[in-house]
Amino acid sequence: MQARIPKTAVLATLVALLAPALSQAYEHATDLPTVTTALSPLPKFPVPDVASLKTKSAKLVDEDAFREKDVWGRIRSGYAIPDVSNDLVAKHVNWYATRPDYIARTTARASLYLFHVVSELEKRGMPTELALLPFIESAFNPNALSSANAAGMWQFVPGTGRDFNLKQDAFKDERRGILASTDAALTYLQRLYDMFGDWQLALAAYNWGEGSVQKAIKRNQAAGKPTDFESLADLMPAETRNYVPKLQAVKNIVANPQQYGLNLPVIDNSPYFTAVDKTSDIDLTVAAHLAELSVDEFKALNPQFKRPVITGDDQTKILLPKENAEKFHLNLAQWTKELSTWSTHKITSARESIRTLASRFHTSPEVIRQANNIPQNSVLKAGSTILVPKISASVGDIAPDVAESATVSYEAERASGKTAKGYKLPKASKSDKSSPVSLVKARVARDSNSKKHRKAN
């Protein structure tokens, strides 16, 4: 027997369906002819607040993002840059597809940072395939350093880094920092998109410089030619000409890795790290110990810190895996020793040799050289500010202005007849044979695949 639907249910359904139309008619009742028959007024439905609708919509977007179990899925669903299909794309797809070990190392490193990068892109409404750009820039190695001195996961040269407020001093290089460099890179990319109105040209400008792209556009305009990326490609250096096709190749692989015989590691769709406030100077080794991490594990999330001690104002934060952040707070509460064992000393005379300084501060010359990256067979120049061990518990933290202005200059010993220009960081190793960093979710090899030269504008 067929079930009978109650009349009350039918009426309720009709009312629900007709309510919006009736409400609209009621709102515009003043525009209708006057009727003589008295009608009972219809209930006036509340008009929803636009701001609240936007808030609810944003919450729904956030909820949708977390429905994906894997970060790769979030990236795929947010692809928004027009595809490129040419011989260069095919060439680069083949290069990646035939190097599964390289893909495994790079995606293992990426597993620490991708959730954060994708989340930041979604907040800004930017195409999520931009999260794959460090794949091209640095193989997701925040310690990568190019021959043009472009540093970090996003490969900022010093000048462009300063343009985007990335601090670079003797103690810190925020071009390597995960939070600061990602924020700067996305801000820069958005600015370039606003300038050119085209993501492919924005990417070309990120690699080649906006001035160079603008000149190429004007040249094609003068010749009556199109000004899209592929039409300008012949005017670009080889690196920039290959830049967008490389990103497209990685997009294709991420979209369907099985098609190319590759497997991507599962990256949980949840934050890998959290930020912890630093309230005073703390030795890098002490911070790692309190978090129950190896020094290499700690550095993988905090590569911006260049010295044995982490200095800075109250805004300085350290990143830790979520479970280790809890351990850090518990261990810190029970810590009874000094958090920092370092202070600074300014060289006022050439007579202050490293050997005499080592004796004065109860350490060895090698410790001072290593802490300050001073080469062998070199002497410090007057005016240098160096790290030295604390010799008294009364010595306080390193003042922020000292950390920001500190420089280390040295010259070769007279016997060699050579003079160094000053303090210079050693370049990151380009070998994949360096020791891997063992992390909770991945083994992160600390090799550098940086190879690019970007012009700063």
Q: How far apart are CA 318 and CA 276, in angstroms?
A: 5
Structure token pair of residue 300: 């993988």
Buried b (16+ CB within 10 A) or exposed e, 214-246: eebbeebeeeeeebebeebbebbeeebbbbbbb
Nearest to 425 by CA among 407, 451, 402: 407
Structure token pair of residue 95: 């290069």
Structure token pair of residue 123: 């907040």
- From the candidates 27, 120, 129, 137, give the one annotated as an active-site residue: 137
For residue 61, report the phi and psi dihedrals to the nearest 5 degrees: -60, -45
Structure token pair of residue 433: 């044979």
The residue type at 386:
I
Residue 70, beta-bridge partner list: 268
- Strand 282-283 with 385-389, pairing: unpaired
Tell me 272's DSSP state.
S
DSSP per residue over 358-417, as a string? Answer: HHHTTS-HHHHHHHHTPPTTEEEPTT-EEEEE---TT--PPPHHHHHH----EEE-GGGT
Nearest to 206 by CA among 168, 251, 236: 236
Phi-psi domain of 139 (left: phi exceeds 0; alpha: psi -120 through 50; beta: other)? left
Phi-psi domain of 292 (left: phi exceeds 0; alpha: psi -120 through 50; beta: other)? left
Cβ atoms of 425 and 176 closer than 8 Å: no
Q: How far apart are CA 221 and CA 410, in angstroms?
A: 52
**137 in active site:** yes
Q: How far apart are CA 397 and CA 312, in angstroms?
A: 9
Residue 268, beta-bridge partner list: 70
Residues designated catalytic: 137
